[in-house]
Homo-oligomer: A and B are copies of this chain.
């Protein structure tokens, strides 16, 4: 490495501290959920502790900035997937399988070029079940509520036999299953341990296939008496 290499790197570092903190925070969110300290993040990002407060005002400001950058592409990917399914179905109601897949695909694979954007939201949604906070509730209402309503609407049309209450129950079961399932999809996790390598935890396509099969059947269960 020459002196100019160092100069360039340092220059880039100085100019892009904000971006490096953002991207490092994303990684922390994906891997450890909301349980991060700005000390750990800034150290990993090669920045100073005070940089977070300078650039984002507070820890909450940093989190909001991350989600702000991630929500747009994610919601767009989800909306597009649902639109594609709708177009494919034509005048008929969208098949359950297609609805479920349209919702899950962006979460599991992420929008183009942001593979873990979905996981960030899943982590936050799950963390908010374990320990609800004002911030968590606000973020969910802000970023997740619209898509939830779209999804509920599609389910109602695809499952006209079910009462509104039953739609809500099953929607909630589905989301719950996805949240807790995907939070555990890592080598050394509970699922990996229990299944003794029988299932490939890293195969996202397989996760999606199995989830779609299971959840579609659950959603289609006969209505209660």
By a beta-carbon cutoff of 8 Å, the part of chain A in contact with chain B is 32-33, 35, 123, 126-132, 140, 148, 164-166, 168-181, 183-184, 189-191, 194-195, 198-199, 209-211, 213-222, 224
Contact = CB atoms under 8 A, between A and B. Distances in A.
| Tally of this chain's copies | 2
Contact of A217 (B33, B166, B220): B220
A166 B140 CA distance: 32
B221 A33 contact: no
Q: Which 5 A-B pairs have the closest CB atoms?
A: A217-B221, A176-B180, A218-B218, A177-B177, A168-B195
A224 B211 contact: no
Nearest to A214: B218
A181 B168 CA distance: 12
Given A170-B210, A214-B219, 6 more contacts: A126-B130, A126-B180, A172-B191, A176-B181, A213-B221, A217-B218
Contacts of A220: 217
A168 to B, nearest CB: 4
Given A33-B130, A148-B194, A221-B216, A176 B184 contact: yes
A156 to B, nearest CB: 12
Which of A130, A179, A195, A199 has its CB near the most chain B CB atoms (within 10 A)?
A: A130
Contact of A199 (B168, B179, B180, B214): B168
Contacts of A210: 166, 169-170, 173, 224
